[in-house]
Amino acid sequence: MNNLMAERIKGVLVGGAYGDAMGMPTEGWSYQRIKQKFPQGVEKFYPSQVDDISDRGFSAGEITDDTINTLMIVRSIADCQGQLNAENYVQQLIKWHEESGISHLVSGPTTLNAINQIKNGISLMDTGKFGTTNGAAMKISPIGVISDYRDLDTLIQRVEQICLPTHHTSIAIAGASAVAACISYVVRGGKSISDLWELAYQVIQQCQTTGTDFPTPSLIKRMRLANKIVKESSRDKALFRLYDEIGSGVQTIETIPAVFGIIELAEGNPIVAGQLASSIGGDTDTIGAIACGICGGLYPKLLSEEIEGKLSQVNEINFYQYTHQLLAYADEKIEVSR
């Protein structure tokens, strides 16, 4: 059983990095611009393009802040022996921001703003109260791994702890909790995509009074619209409709419905999900990281040794080490009964 769970956890981590790296070259591009540059869609790793949004000069297969922050959470969990400590994560985040040389090229506006406030002495209780972007959901998969989706109260409390310094709003916590619950479900053997939608609706409903209240459209209604779009449209048309009618930008209200729409369109295949996410436009790397993380837990064997090797080599990531750090603290190592 532990070997199966370890395989799925590694699938989540490799899948997340894969989706991140696939979406990196087209981040910030419109759907139309991607279609013009890649008429067949983005089907493999590419380096940064000459007209990259930040002139980053990244190599093919290189990850961004989505994976970097995810691995920070894993290290924080290991450092704190399975406990969650927002200050430990923030210390790692600030250290990386000061030493990496690329933080300013890949970090989102909400995280950068929170870092600056923290460095200026503002309390962690206050720095995240306006954060509504997807920076919480992009890094939350380790919380899903160590939590049991059948105990949503505990899972949501853990997500809120991680969201506290940067994204402590009800919308960001709801989106991140939906992702964490679905990660929890797939690493414990869940295989039903319809169950993922229903679990997400349940979690979002439960999070409505968690965190700082912030005016926002209904995430559940936006999710239901995304579900309707992918069920009634061809794959190509649905992808454009998600971009055009739902949005695929950095705000949680757009990212999370787009993620679930892509999972549905890809039928849970992480390779297809990465290709779709990198072709949708907007925040392609984050949408890819989240969607492919969930799909990687569903079908880890579809992520080849070649893909894992490329990601490991380019980014110097030991996926085996991170997998077993999480496995050691996974709550209720019980298989899903259906």
Q: Per-residue pLDDT for the chain (338 aa), expressed as one digit of tens each?
A: 468 999 999 999 999 999 999 999 999 999 999 999 999 999 999 999 877 666 778 999 999 999 999 999 999 999 888 887 777 887 777 777 777 666 666 566 777 777 777 777 777 777 778 889 999 999 999 999 999 999 999 999 999 999 988 899 999 999 999 999 999 999 999 999 999 999 999 999 999 999 999 899 999 999 999 999 999 999 999 999 999 999 999 999 999 999 999 999 999 999 999 999 999 999 999 999 999 999 999 999 999 999 999 999 999 999 999 999 999 998 655 444 33
Q: Decide if 335 is inside a domain.
A: no
Burial class, 111, CB count within 10 angstroms (exposed 0-12 / middle 13-18 / buried 19+): buried
The pLDDT of residue 86: 76
pLDDT at residue number 4: 92
Tell me which residue range forms the domain holding 173. Answer: 2-46+60-327
How far apart, in Å, are the Cα atoms of 252 and each of 6, 43, 93, 156, 317?
29, 26, 21, 16, 27
Residue 300 belongs to some domain of the structure: yes
Cα distances from 11 to residues 19, 106, 306, in angstroms, run 12, 24, 14
pLDDT at position 329, please? 93
The verdict on residue 143 lying in a domain is: yes
Q: Please give the pLDDT value at position 51.
A: 75
CATH number, position 94: 1.10.4080.10
If DSSP codes are grouped into helix, strand and coil, which group holds residue 17?
Answer: helix
pTM of the predicted model as reported, rounded to 2 decimal places: 0.93
SS (H, E, C) 210-270: CCECCCCCCHHHHHHHHHHHHHHCCHHHHHHHHHHHHCCCCEHHHHHHHHHHHHHHCCCCH
Contact status, residue 270 vs residue 15, Cβ threshold 8 Å: yes
What is the pLDDT, as a whole number, of residue 1?
42
Question: Could you tell me if residue 144 is inside a domain?
Answer: yes
Report if residue 52 sits inside a domain: no
Within a domain: 189: yes
Structure tokens at 313: 């080599």
Q: Provide the pLDDT for residue 46.
A: 96
Split into its structural domains, the chain has a count of 1
In a domain, 336, yes or no: no
In a domain? residue 337: no
